[in-house]
Structure 1
Amino acid sequence: MVAMAAVPGRSAAAEPYPAAPVRLIVPFPPGGPVDSVGRLLAGKLGAELGQSVYVDNKGGAGGGIGAQAAASAEPNGYTLLLGSTATISILPLINSSVRYDPDRDFTALAIAATGVQIFVVNEKVPVRDIPGLVAYAKSSKRPLSAATGGSANPFFIAMFEKEAGVEFLHVPYKGTGPSLADVAAGHVAFTVADTSAVIPLVKAGQVRALGISSLQRSPLAPDIPTIAEQGFPGFEAGGWFGLFAPRGLPANVQRRLVDALAKVASDRDMNEQLLRLGLTPSWSVGEDAARNVRKENGRLRSVAATMNMQPQ
């Protein structure tokens, strides 16, 4: 009986929460932008909860393996998910093997930050802007190779292919880090990746930035023109990062997590570190977060329908 009492379960509704360490599933390998956000949030949330929050990297299937593990976990507050546009909004639209429903199987606790994508090529590719990339891709005898890591990345590349009337040869990778590494090494021509991951490589001269996918230039990279201003008005591709739990949390546990995250949201150091990661602090907590996620899920479903995109 003593051993059973020590195991967090549905009895969490009747005991102070948290009474044991909390697992935060990050559905991508260590080292990428999602992992960086997850570790930052784990440290700050753990301090507010007075209990350790540890990161469990479960990469694979574009984030689907980790997200499914979180969706299937006991809804007791001891398993959380570092969710993102990729795993919550996009992956169910493009991957027929996904078994979770983002609206049905998760409770949104908080959205912490937003980021945008930068289109980059390796230094061997003789283009310096988006029109040049389109012209080069159309004139090449073979499709230009594009590294795709995760799930948001191929979706955004597909959006651009539709807009520009070009077709790339998609080369899949397990995450942003490996895909960018091969572009920098000259093995793949082109990719799209988070600002936080790209800017250090741009500054080091390892890749060449062509355009950024926000509607306005980013203060983090003011010299990089938007794709919208280069002949594709309205083109926008980006994402958010936030914390989710399996649907069905006890009310006291959900309230405790939301209250703790509201304090994390006002933590100056937390937001400064998000900025250093190349992200914009864009907090919404509790029902506000849930509303924003539902809105984004609907928006991207409309985009996928416009593109006639079917799950593969």
Structure 2
Amino acid sequence: MNINLKKRRHLLATSAIAFLGWAPAQAMAQAQPFPSRPITFVVPFAAGSATDQLARALGQSLTNDTGQPVVVENKAGASGMIAAAAVAKAPADGYTVLITTNTTHAANEHLYKKLSYDPVKDFAPVTALGKGGQVMVVNPASGYKTVADVIAEAKKSPGKLNFGSGSSSSRIAGELFQQMAGVQILHVPYKSNPNAITDLLGGQITMMFADMSTGVPQIKSEKLRALGVTASKRSPMLPNVPTIAEAGVPGYEMGYWFAAYTPTGTPPAAIQRLNELLVRATASAQSKSFFDNSGSEAFTSTPDGLAKFQAAETRKWGDIIKAAGIQAE
């Protein structure tokens, strides 16, 4: 037999054996269950924030469910842009998840001229996680007892009343109220909602749209009066307070939401598994405690459902911001 032919056959046989040894290992690697190592939840806001609290509750549930640790990494600053940009550039393997809000994925593109990330192209939607509303509050000394009282005074004296805000959600709630009620109310900006609450308690501003965790304690102590909630239905935390839609502005609804995203290119199987885990996690005892104490509620979706919801919310926020004449920074 030709020596070269013998060498070729030997090489082919050796390659075949090597392949047979490699194939099962490769198959085992591909079949390895997800997750098989720790997952990182990146949060765009500081430790202790509502988003951070939710991320930690969800993370504990995922750990209980899978046996894998979940690390919560806070990357606060720049209205969430630092965290969003970091996740957009992370490996698309399903092990880095952005737990975020409407701030990074609906509002920022209308509030800033240039973003360090693309809220659509750079991310793969996983699931919505929760949503909540705010509460319209006034100082009891103001004499306003209903939403109708505020509207009547605002129409009587355009520009006389004012409202404070320390977040994009708080401000946009006030802008939408003006647009739908047909009134002019002066906006007073603050660095945070607690700062606005302080001035409201002191009588320096007329009203504000506060998040539940900030407003409810003041309402319960009767230091502030609640006139209406911004969500489409009443809050379990304030069951006797009507929605603003019920109180005189039909169709009014403005709230905030939480959602999970991974970098674009994440394998569909990993996204589906994360969706299953996170949807289940929103019903955990830890998550239920968060929702109950923050005045929000679980709200989940399919990945495609989140994409459609985000698109609708982005249009809504853009329309409100444009109508209010807010200039992008």
How high is the TM-score relative to the length of structure 2?
A: 0.76
1:294 paired to 2:308: no
Letter in 1 for 2:94: G
Letter in 1 for 2:310: V
Q: Is the 8 A contact 1:147 1:191 kept in 2?
A: yes
1:74 paired to 2:111: no
* Distance of 1:144 and 1:86 partners within structure 2: 27
1:210 paired to 2:227: yes
Q: Is the 8 A contact 1:62 1:150 kept in 2?
A: no
SS in 1 for 2:260: strand
* Distance of 2:137 and 2:313 partners within structure 1: 26
Letter in 2 for 1:291: K
* Distance of 1:15 and 1:147 partners within structure 2: 52
* Distance of 1:33 and 1:229 partners within structure 2: 27
C-alpha deviation, 1:118, in angstroms: 0.8
C-alpha deviation, 1:254, in angstroms: 2.2
Unaligned 5+ runs, structure 1: 1-11
Structure 1, 27-36 or 141-150: larger mean CA deviation: 141-150
SS in 2 for 1:242: strand
Q: Is the 8 A contact 2:128 2:258 kept in 1?
A: yes
* Distance of 2:158 and 2:236 partners within structure 1: 38
C-alpha deviation, 1:115, in angstroms: 0.9
Fraction of identical pairs, as percent? 29
Structure 1, 204-213 or 285-294: larger mean CA deviation: 285-294
* Distance of 1:297 and 1:289 partners within structure 2: 12
1:85 paired to 2:102: yes
CA shift in 2, pair 1:292/1:129, >3 Å: same
Look up the match of 1:247.
264
How high is the TM-score relative to the length of structure 1?
A: 0.80
Unaligned 5+ runs, structure 2: 1-28
SS in 1 for 2:190: strand
Look up the match of 1:285.
302
Q: Is the 8 A contact 2:54 2:290 kept in 1?
A: no
1:165 paired to 2:183: yes
C-alpha deviation, 1:184, in angstroms: 4.6
SS in 2 for 1:283: coil
Letter in 2 for 1:52: P
Structure 1, 240-249 or 129-138: larger mean CA deviation: 129-138
* Distance of 1:184 and 1:34 partners within structure 2: 26
C-alpha deviation, 1:41, in angstroms: 1.7
Q: Is the 8 A contact 1:32 1:177 kept in 2?
A: no
Q: Is the 8 A contact 1:148 1:171 kept in 2?
A: yes
Matches within 5 A, 1:13-52: 17-52=34-69
Structure 1, 144-153 or 239-248: larger mean CA deviation: 144-153
CA shift in 2, pair 1:134/1:83, >3 Å: same
* Distance of 1:76 and 1:178 partners within structure 2: 41
Look up the match of 2:130.
113
1:230 paired to 2:247: yes
Look up the match of 1:195.
212
SS in 2 for 1:284: coil
Letter in 1 for 2:56: R
C-alpha deviation, 1:239, in angstroms: 2.4
RMSD: 3.2
